[in-house]
Amino acid sequence: MVILRIMLCGFLLASGIFTLLVAIYSFRKRDPATNYFAVFSLSITFYSLGYAMELYSDTLVRMRFWNFVEYIGLPFLPALWLVFTFEYNNKHIGLIEKLCIFMIPFMTFIFRVTNSLNHFYYLSVKVTSNYYFPVLYIEKGPWYWVHALFVTSCFIVANYVYYAVYKKSIGPIRRQGAILLIASLLPWVTVVLDLLNLSPLDIDYGPFAVTSSVILFFIAFLRYHFLNIKPLARDKAFELTNDGIIVLDTNYNIIDFNPSAVVICNDLRENVIGKDVQVVLGRYKGLVYSILNEAESQCDLEDPKGNYRVNTVRILEVNHRQVGYLVTLTDITKYVNMMQELNHLASRDALTGVYNRRYFVELSSREIVKAKRYNHALSLIIIDLDYFKQINDTHGHQAGDLVLIEVVKCCRNSIRSIDIFGRFGGEEFVILFPETNLGECNIIAGRILKNIENTIVSYENKHIKITASLGVTGTNFLYNQSLDIFLKKADQALYQAKSEGRNCFRCLEL
């Protein structure tokens, strides 16, 4: 059966050339994971070429020589595959762990090189026939079984890792995981056949299996070229992060997404893989706009309700060729709420809830600019409680605080939501009235005065009577008047009210 022998040798020679080209291609990627795969492929080259020449040989001397060539690469294949599996799936292991993994392969290589001295790997070697052509028959030594156990262990672990990736992945990544799982199973099958002496024709099918694994891997690699940056690197950071992550190709088609993205955008389902993100997430207009413009932005979503920071970056290969987009959705709802709360606290009086002096001045200054631009009337009232110090001295500061809160309630019931209400000092309040002339403001001042006078504050079974004095000012047209001028004129009116008996208001036109 010369033809069969030539076909087998030809396949192995082609395998050696193919794996050599794959090794060169992988080395050029300059990535730690693909570097391990490159060395793995190079080891297969020695294994395949050596076994091709072993099958083609007719004498024991030549067969033993080419068998030695095989073992330049063969012992290291399981260790390289295992380390590559870990690296490719972002399950990084330390230097010490890697040295431990490669310890048995190095010892296997040494025992094979020195086998003629110790017969620790092969007990004996001879040429026999499988009824078609001569083959090398070996009697397995003790270390051969150690190495076989190591090979089995490596492929079991690698198969488990790929199976776990397959189970937790979706879409194209799941299909790629299935291909790599099959690629990892093939060499293990040949190991079992060899250990049980069930290999047809007494041939070592290991180089055929590992070459097939490389071909399958390469198919997966090229088929999903858009994820050239470790498409299986869906580690725990991707799966468990609270940030939503969406992976797109260069045409904005959805390639992958993590569970957090599904929570944020519940339109994401497995059946949307490969579809245009503009179609799938069309109702999230702000999100889609941010993605298409590659701009970092903040989006407010209604279902589920929340605030999210959207960031879109390009996925680039080592040579800077773009292969897709990575969209991250970061929940900043708590941050936004906290900032709103801080802004509220920074702008409000802690006791009464009205604007503090700083924020009142800021809002009022804006309103004055607006009134000047549109020729609107503007009025202002200063409210000062009568004998407030006496209330504090007689009933205590807690009673005084309660009085201030009740006064604010009275004022709020007398003004509009657009009016700017602030606390200026201890018992002094200021209200700015947009688009309100002096006559209208006088009516409001009278209403406030009456509401305060009719209010009785109860504290520790005591009834506290309160009154206030008001200073009113305003103008129908603003020219160069500032807030300070309004305050000064209203303060003069307040002084008149205090001088004329309190519990009244006085008005001075600006």
**DSSP track, 352-417:** T-SB-HHHHHHHHHHHHHHHHHHT--EEEEEEEETTHHHHHHHH-HHHHHHHHHHHHHHHHTTS-T
Domain 2-227: CATH architecture, name and number where available: Up-down Bundle (1.20)
Backbone angles phi, psi at 326, to 5 degrees: -120, 120
- pLDDT confidence band for 230 (50 / 70 / 90): very low
Distance CA 310, CA 503 (A): 57
Distance CA 63, CA 37 (A): 28
Alpha helices in 76-197 (DSSP H): 77-88, 95-113, 115-118, 142-168, 171-195
Kindly report the length of the chain: 510
For the ranges 183-187, 220-224, 333-337, the lowest mean pLDDT is seen at: 220-224
More confident residue, 342 or 457: 457
Give the pLDDT confidence score for residue 321 in this predicted structure: 75
CATH 3.50.50.60 for the 348-509 domain, yes or no: no
CATH class of 241-337: alpha beta
Closest CA to 434 of 486, 509, 371, 360: 371
Is the pLDDT at 290 greater than 90? The verdict is no
Is the pLDDT at 229 greater than 50? The verdict is no
Residue limits of CATH 3.30.450.20 in the chain? 241-337
Q: Taking a C-beta distance cutoff of 8 angstroms, is the pair 113, 121 a contact? A: no
Residue limits of CATH 1.20.1070.10 in the chain? 2-227
Is the pLDDT at 165 greater than 80? The verdict is no
380 bridge partner residues: 432, 473
Q: What percent of the chain has pLDDT over 70?
A: 92
- pLDDT confidence band for 447 (50 / 70 / 90): very high
Is the pLDDT at 371 greater than 90? The verdict is yes
For the ranges 89-93, 158-162, 413-417, the lowest mean pLDDT is seen at: 89-93
Is the pLDDT at 149 greater than 80? The verdict is yes
Give the pLDDT confidence score for residue 488 in this predicted structure: 95
Is the pLDDT at 38 greater than 50? The verdict is yes
What is the torsional sign of CA 62, 68, 72, 74? positive
DSSP 3-state of 102: helix
Q: Taking a C-beta distance cutoff of 8 angstroms, is the pair 376, 435 a contact? A: yes
Q: Are strands 134-140 and 305-316 parallel, antiparallel or unpaired?
A: unpaired
Give the pLDDT confidence score for residue 187 in this predicted structure: 79
Distance CA 433, CA 421 (A): 9
What is the torsional sign of CA 190, 195, 199, 201? positive
- What are 186-206's pLDDT values in tens digits? 877 777 777 777 777 778 888
Please give the positions annotated as active site.
Answer: 427
Give the pLDDT confidence score for residue 173 in this predicted structure: 62
Q: Taking a C-beta distance cutoff of 8 angstroms, is the pair 81, 87 a contact? A: no
- What are 42-56's pLDDT values in tens digits? 998 998 999 889 888
Residue limits of CATH 3.30.70.270 in the chain? 348-509
Cα–Cα distances (Å) from 216 to 41, 171, 185, 378, in that order, read 13, 18, 11, 80
Give the pLDDT confidence score for residue 235 in this predicted structure: 54
DSSP 3-state of 125: strand
Distance CA 274, CA 261 (A): 16
- What are 68-119's pLDDT values in tens digits? 999 999 999 999 989 988 887 767 788 898 999 999 999 999 999 999 888 9
Radius of gyration (C-alpha) of the chain in whole angstroms? 42
- pLDDT confidence band for 226 (50 / 70 / 90): very low
Model confidence pTM above 0.75? no
Q: Are strands 462-465 and 428-434 parallel, antiparallel or unpaired?
A: unpaired
Across the range 197-224, mean pLDDT stands at: 76
